[in-house]
Structure 1
Amino acid sequence: MQRVIGAILILTATSGAGYVYCSELKAYLEKMQYLRYVFSLIKGEIAYTHAPLPEVFQEVARRIKKPYRTWLMETAREVEQRTETGFVRAWSRCIDRYLKSLGLKQEHSILIKEPGTFLGSLEQETLDHTLQMYLNRVDLEIEKLREGLAAKTRIGSCLGVMSGIFLIVILI
């Protein structure tokens, strides 16, 4: 009887580990989609208001959730106060400081830092076109994540159950 209960517990635990792995993958995809949403809000705000970047960041920050709100508010504050020598440094530093909790992969962190190189220095029409190209690149990254998600969730679920069965066979 104890072996049966142990086997059920092992199978439940390993299946649960597979489920947690799958849910973490889905959460990561949602983070990337929300970052894409934030950048589309920034693009729209720049295109329609022609306001300075700190004002754009503050306006967009009012409409989004934390930690993205904190990131944009602090970026706006640093750009207004000119605490950094350039916009690129302030942008990168604020991303490193306030979006660290998202746990982005290195390649996606670099992708998020990229707009800092062109946001503060281009004309309106060029900036609009460049932001659209950037959003297209983010869309491609999200699509890659989405394609890999289906296979990885299937593998994660199967590995959870299979590893549980393997442990049960070894222990019994």
Structure 2
Amino acid sequence: MEQQQYLEKLMYIRHILELIQGEIEYSGAPLFEVFGKTANRVQEPYRSWMLDLKRRVEARGGQSFRGIWEACTETKLKELHLKSRHMRELSEVGMYLGQMDVRTGRTSMQMYLENLGAEIEETRQEITAKKRIGNWLGVMSGLFLVIVLF
């Protein structure tokens, strides 16, 4: 069950990044507007993550976009308890997303989404295998009890 919840978290993050990518590509809006629009379409804790990104990017204060993205991601998504690898990869998205070269940002985002899709598929396969093993163990233990009792 725990693995299923983790899978749902990864799928929701992929959904959010696809929303961001779509907004950037089709509206061409500044990033703070993209984060604001995305915040209206997602649930907590992702909403507070997007709103914090919007607020900090709008204010900037001389901080790089990458720094803002990493700080917001680490503080707002800490409660998701993502594996360190997934958290690191999500933080790295900010390295390319804030660049002026839209093509590089788009390519990097697409690459991350493909990797995340592969991770999601791998996790699904693990869950399926564990369910199969659990079902077989249930059948075998039932047969064992029948044999022992008779």
What is the TM-score of this pair, normalised by structure 2?
Answer: 0.83
Question: Of the two structures, which has the highest relative contact order with CA contacts closer than 8 Å and spacing of 6 or more?
Answer: 1
Counterpart position of 2:51: 73
Residue in structure 1 matching 2:6, options 28, 50, 53: 28
Counterpart position of 1:144: 122
Distance 2:52 2:134 in 1: 38
Q: Pick which of 138-147 and 123-132 moved more.
A: 123-132
Aligned length: 140
Deviations 1:65-119 (A, max 9, x none): 1110100110111111124621111111111111111111111111211111001
Distance 1:84 1:76 in 2: 15
Q: Following superposition, which runs of at least 4 residues in structure 1 exceed 3 angstroms of deviation?
A: 152-159
Distance 2:133 2:73 in 1: 32
Q: Pick which of 80-89 and 105-114 moved more.
A: 80-89
Counterpart position of 1:11: none
Distance 1:34 1:26 in 2: 12
Distance 1:104 1:155 in 2: 26
User: After the TM superposition, which residues 77-92 of structure 1 pair with which residues of structure 2 at under 5 Å, given as runs?
Assistant: 77-83=55-61, 85-92=63-70
Could you say what the CA RMSD is over the residues aligned between the two structures, in angstroms?
A: 2.2
User: After the TM superposition, which residues 1-172 of structure 1 pair with which residues of structure 2 at under 5 Å, given as runs?
Assistant: 23-83=1-61, 85-155=63-133, 158=137
Distance 2:65 2:134 in 1: 42
Q: Verify the 8 A CA contact 1:74 1:94 in the aligned structure 2.
A: yes
Structure 2 stretches lacking a partner, 5+ long = 142-150
Structure 1 stretches lacking a partner, 5+ long = 1-22, 163-172
Per the TM alignment, residue 147 of structure 1 is displaced from its structure 2 partner at its CA by 1.5
Distance 1:140 1:122 in 2: 28
Distance 2:76 2:133 in 1: 33
Distance 1:108 1:84 in 2: 28
Per the TM alignment, residue 129 of structure 1 is displaced from its structure 2 partner at its CA by 2.6
Q: Verify the 8 A CA contact 2:39 2:50 in the aligned structure 1.
A: yes
3-state SS of 1:118 partner: helix
Structure with larger Rg: 1
**Percentage identity across paired residues of the two chains:** 41
